[in-house]
Structure 1
Amino acid sequence: MVGGGIAGLAAAHRLREKCQAERLSYAVLLLEANSRPGGVIGTTYRDGFILESGPDTLFTDKPWAVDLIKRLGLGDRLIGTSGVHRRTFVALGGTLHPLPEGFSLLAPTRFRPFVQSELLTWRGKARMALDLILPRGQPGSDESLASFVRRRLGAEALERLAQPMIGGIYSADPERLSLQATFPQLLQMEAQHRSLILGLRRRRLSVPGKGHAPADSGPRYSLFATLDNGLQTLVDALVQQLPAGTVRLGCPVAGIARKKECWTIRLKDGADIEADGVILAVPAFQAAALTHDLDDDLAMELEAIPYASSVTINLAYRREAIPHPLDGFGFVVPACEGRTIIACSFSSVKFANRAPAGYALLRAFAGGALQPEPFEWDDERLLTAVRHDLEDLLGIESAPLWSQLIRHPRSMPQYHVGHLARLATLEHRLCRWPTLKLAGNAYRGVGIPDGIRSGEAAADALLAGLTSAQRDTYGGVTLAEPARTCAEGDSLL
């Protein structure tokens, strides 16, 4: 494995599991350029606070993270979100407006809370209601999030809801974000029910016990979880369950080459390592740099996947220093508001034990595809701008007890319209190299569960490729230029 983020660690662990279960003799080696594993995942502890430098949440509706956590023996360490204040705010005109009760993804599932909400104008609400009578769109073609929402729900819903809520997950420009690659269920809902509002309402009514029960505002918070001492616990457990020497830190790779019947991994210190198979669990632009000499067409496709940068700012306060009741899990900020912050999580409300009693922990976010400038600011300027936004929106006039600022350069792959077509091209190129696999968040999902699935799938595919390569070798077929073609339905990413 090249890359020690969650995808690389999951791949290494999966290979170890399968080699033990199937009594295979392969040794597993993971090379990580940085001094610590985990990629953007990182937990630190200060004065009784638990601070996440990257993601802080697992989406349990995607089972791969929870399944791995249980296999690691950490199932009893999982905790859900707080049972109170399960709602999200949208910052608009200097005020935090709660998403209407029952609001799901992009549309309301309950009539009265939607009508009473001040988040949208009456014109905006009327335009959203047209979704109930509008015809289906043309099936088959890729479409941007912005085009889809504008077509079905109107420009105001795009500006005030879709861009900050869905575009924000990917730190993306909704005008370029591929709906097929990110939220295909919305297209499926339109095809099946014609109306998003009807489809979402029918989905809510189909869940036993939920049809007439109070609904959370915004995301389904019951499906969010974390580990009691932070997500670094997952990283540490993966490393600890691998044999000593499996993970090599501070070991940057310069390139890979295919020689006779094995791979050669060239390290930047000049050393070479030979391997039967390779998983590149690094960002797409790094995978491109490593494969240019091997397959320039493959490298060019990888290089074409764009990325956005982001900043996480943790801020600790005494609870009485924050006038706002913090009666939610956080807020998002539409780009049209022109603020530095694109979102803020009330971490000490969202999860237990994130701050000592009498204190509060906030996590603000800046950067992304629509607002890249703050990432380039120096720390002082960025923190000043963040504090100004928090003063305006939460009434905080005093300085935080302390703050922690973490920059994530080129950390968020952008799934632009045409992303799935690019993946198909990548898979076609990878068919030439049955013992070379790609893993990570650049392909089929950006969350931790997606990264784990990607790494484990790459491990499974690599073992299958090694078996195939051994058969080819015994049959006298050279592996320097593999002749394998993709079978219908093959998924190599």
Structure 2
Amino acid sequence: MAAQIVVVGGGITGLAACWRLERQYPGVSITLVEASERLGGWIRSERWNGVLIEHGPDSWVASKAAATELARALGLEPELVGLRADRAGTGIVLGGRILPLPEGLSLLVPTRLWPILTSPLLSVPGKIRLLGELFVPARCHCDDESLAAFVRRRFGREFYERLAEPLLAGIYAGDAEQLSLLATYPQFRQLECQFGSLLRALWRRHHPARSLRSGVTSPFLTLWDGMQRLVDRLALSLQRTAVLVGVPAISLEPTRPHGYRVVLSDGAVLEADGVVIATPAASAVRLLQPVLADEAAWLHTLPYASSAAVTFVYRDADLEPIARGRGFLVPARESRAISAVTWVTNKFPARAPEGLSVARVFFRGAGTRQCGEGPSERLVALALQELRSLVGLRADPLHAVVSRHDRAMPQYPVGHRDRTERLRLALRRWRGLAVAGAAFDGVGVPDCIASGWRAADTVLETLGLSPGESSGLDADPAA
């Protein structure tokens, strides 16, 4: 009899888990359960008069291989698109002025010193403090700390506030004061312990940015027709997966000796030998309650950040004189409602027909809380006000689209990695049960894909299944 696996959650993580299960074990039969009416989670693309509009992520980090590997396996390699080389450059707002982001700043670490030492973004004392990183004692104990505390400790407050904080806000949409170092950039602690200084590690050519130059031509990749293309092709590739949408899974019950019973909101019951839980934390903890109530309790309080953005379509003649580089970041110290602006048509090719240009305005957490539940017109008006103030853009847009994601981005507090590892260790007591997704393993698209693959492998491994083999599935699921 084929192994029956239920995957709960139809975002990119759950879809990746289904794909991996099908490829790794030909005898598996899968049911994918998604609470909403569509697959893909917060990855969503649409077209307006030929203009590509992304409601979620517009690309993935090329140095994390999972997304690129999946795209290639799905036959999408000819559709991969990198950053436009002719519109390079990013700005950072300082005192209401947009100044260039120094070249060679990657993953929060200066990979080239001269550009940052000559940049007006840092004062002379700030630059001296940056160089003082060479003499900051390494902290090699195992205790976690916040990203903000780490960057300030190593490079100083000014570097954190003016450069690191806006970069982190663009990645995690949250507060770096609360984000765990070990759950986001554990390699920084490793470099600190190995070399005593991140700058020293750079000079010895063992720095984090090195991977960005290892065989990739662009640090970010996307698809010609948008990120939705990856979701659609992935869903279409599934051959032995039954997909149920619009039906939340409300409970999971262990059964002896056959595995698990997944109860759906419409009363249907799915019997399974194994289950992958690939949902946000609130749903995951509810499903885990019968088996790991204590170990999963921390998921109740895992914070999430909401996000909001407005995409504007302009005539090219209106935006071209103003749009420089790929966009700019807005530090929290500027006390503005927005965190970033992307000149979309400068960032990637084929985003709009000739004669049209696209801008995307991102709100920071405070702006999202203040305006996210109000009418879309309020967000549009605030975004236009910020564009007028910062770049002098006074032309009226041809079209505006508001994208909102409530509780979209998990915020890993200090100690998150240890809690996740303890949960996964406890899960090993339950055959065929695994968790995956942004709540545990990283918020980027490659992180979520890799997490889904890992969960699929764990389920097959703990069930004793491997390609071409079968195993007794009648044993105690907690054995």
TM-score (norm 2): 0.91
Cα RMSD of the aligned pairs, angstroms, is: 2.5
Assess, with a 3 A threshold, how the Cα gap between structure 1 residues 369 and 258 changes in structure 2: closer, same or farther.
farther
Aligned to 2:97: 95
CA distance in structure 2 between the aligned counterparts of 1:38 and 1:408, rounded to whole angstroms: 13
Shift of 1:160: 0.9
Aligned to 2:221: 225
Q: Is the 8 A contact 1:301 1:426 kept in 2?
A: no
Shift of 1:245: 6.5
Aligned to 2:15: 9
Assess, with a 3 A threshold, how the Cα gap between structure 1 residues 101 and 204 changes in structure 2: closer, same or farther.
farther
Aligned to 1:459: 456
Structure 2 residue identity aligned to 1:235: V
Structure 2 residue identity aligned to 1:170: Y
Shift of 1:221: 7.8
Secondary structure of 1:442's aligned partner: helix
CA distance in structure 2 between the aligned counterparts of 1:205 and 1:29, rounded to whole angstroms: 43
Shift of 1:91: 1.4
Q: How does 1:28-427 map to 2 (within 5 A)?
A: 28-203=30-205, 222-243=218-239, 246-260=242-256, 261-322=258-319, 324-368=321-365, 372-427=369-424
Per mean C-alpha deviation after superposition, the further-off stretch among 454-463 and 139-148 is: 139-148
Aligned to 2:429: 432
Per mean C-alpha deviation after superposition, the further-off stretch among 150-159 and 318-327 is: 318-327
Secondary structure of 1:376's aligned partner: coil
Assess, with a 3 A threshold, how the Cα gap between structure 1 residues 108 and 293 changes in structure 2: closer, same or farther.
closer
CA distance in structure 2 between the aligned counterparts of 1:204 and 1:401, rounded to whole angstroms: 48
Q: Is the 8 A contact 1:54 1:312 kept in 2?
A: no
In the alignment, structure 1 segments of 5+ residues that lack a partner are 484-493
Shift of 1:230: 0.6
Secondary structure of 2:218's aligned partner: helix
Per mean C-alpha deviation after superposition, the further-off stretch among 154-163 and 131-140 is: 131-140
In the alignment, structure 2 segments of 5+ residues that lack a partner are 1-6
In the comparison of the two structures, how many residue pairs are matched?
A: 466
Q: Is the 8 A contact 1:366 1:375 kept in 2?
A: no
Structure 1 residue identity aligned to 2:268: A
Q: Is the 8 A contact 2:315 2:355 kept in 1?
A: yes
Structure 2 residue identity aligned to 1:407: R
Shift of 1:188: 2.0
Assess, with a 3 A threshold, how the Cα gap between structure 1 residues 372 and 121 changes in structure 2: closer, same or farther.
farther
Structure 1 residue identity aligned to 2:285: A
Secondary structure of 2:261's aligned partner: strand
CA distance in structure 1 between the aligned counterparts of 2:461 and 2:433, rounded to whole angstroms: 11
TM-score (norm 1): 0.89
Shift of 1:339: 1.1
Aligned to 1:491: none
Q: Is the 8 A contact 1:186 1:196 kept in 2?
A: yes
Q: Is the 8 A contact 2:140 2:189 kept in 1?
A: no
Q: Is the 8 A contact 1:318 1:358 kept in 2?
A: yes
Secondary structure of 1:159's aligned partner: helix
Assess, with a 3 A threshold, how the Cα gap between structure 1 residues 67 and 289 changes in structure 2: closer, same or farther.
same
Secondary structure of 1:29's aligned partner: strand
Assess, with a 3 A threshold, how the Cα gap between structure 1 residues 351 and 468 changes in structure 2: closer, same or farther.
closer
Q: Is the 8 A contact 1:390 1:396 kept in 2?
A: yes
CA distance in structure 1 between the aligned counterparts of 2:283 and 2:358, rounded to whole angstroms: 34
Secondary structure of 1:343's aligned partner: strand
Secondary structure of 1:362's aligned partner: strand
Report sequence identity in percent.
41
Per mean C-alpha deviation after superposition, the further-off stretch among 285-294 and 104-113 is: 104-113
